[in-house]
Amino acid sequence: MGRGTTILLYMLTGALLGVVAASFIVPPALSWYNEPGAINAGKQVETLCNIPELIHYTASRLLRGQLIGALIGAVVGLIPGVMRSGRRASGGLPTSPGAAVPRV
């Protein structure tokens, strides 16, 4: 694998892990942030809402969280990708085409 391929592979893996992590982190954060306060102690909170607007808000926040997670994961994956690809030296392959085939 070439250096660019190695870095890209690490970045894509980091982005995928970031999306998965955001899928677990963002929904509890959304529910905590949007939880209505208890006005009357001991009674259940009654709310009225516009369902299409609520679905749009929740889905857009979840997708935004996943995008941010993917970007963070890609940047975090860039670091080990560059370190690993820079550490690898060319493995003794011949540089000229004539050197690969011995002449008799």
- Taking the C-alpha atoms of residue 4 and residue 82, their distance in angstroms, rounded to an integer, is 9
Q: Is 64 inside any structural domain? A: yes
Q: Is 65 inside any structural domain? A: yes
- Taking the C-alpha atoms of residue 6 and residue 12, their distance in angstroms, rounded to an integer, is 10
Q: Is 79 inside any structural domain? A: yes
CA atoms 50, 56, 59, 61: torsion sign: negative
φ/ψ of 70, rounded to 5, equals -65, -40
Q: Is 97 inside any structural domain? A: no
Q: Which range of residues forms the domain containing residue 70?
A: 1-34+52-87
Other C-beta atoms closer than 10 Å to the C-beta of 71 total 14
Q: Is 44 inside any structural domain? A: no
Structure tokens at 69: 């997670």
pLDDT in 10s for each residue of the chain, 104 residues: 688 888 899 999 999 999 999 888 888 877 766 666 555 566 666 667 777 787 888 888 889 999 999 999 999 999 988 888 876 555 555 555 555 555 66
Number of domains in the chain: 1
Whole-model pTM above 0.85? Answer: no
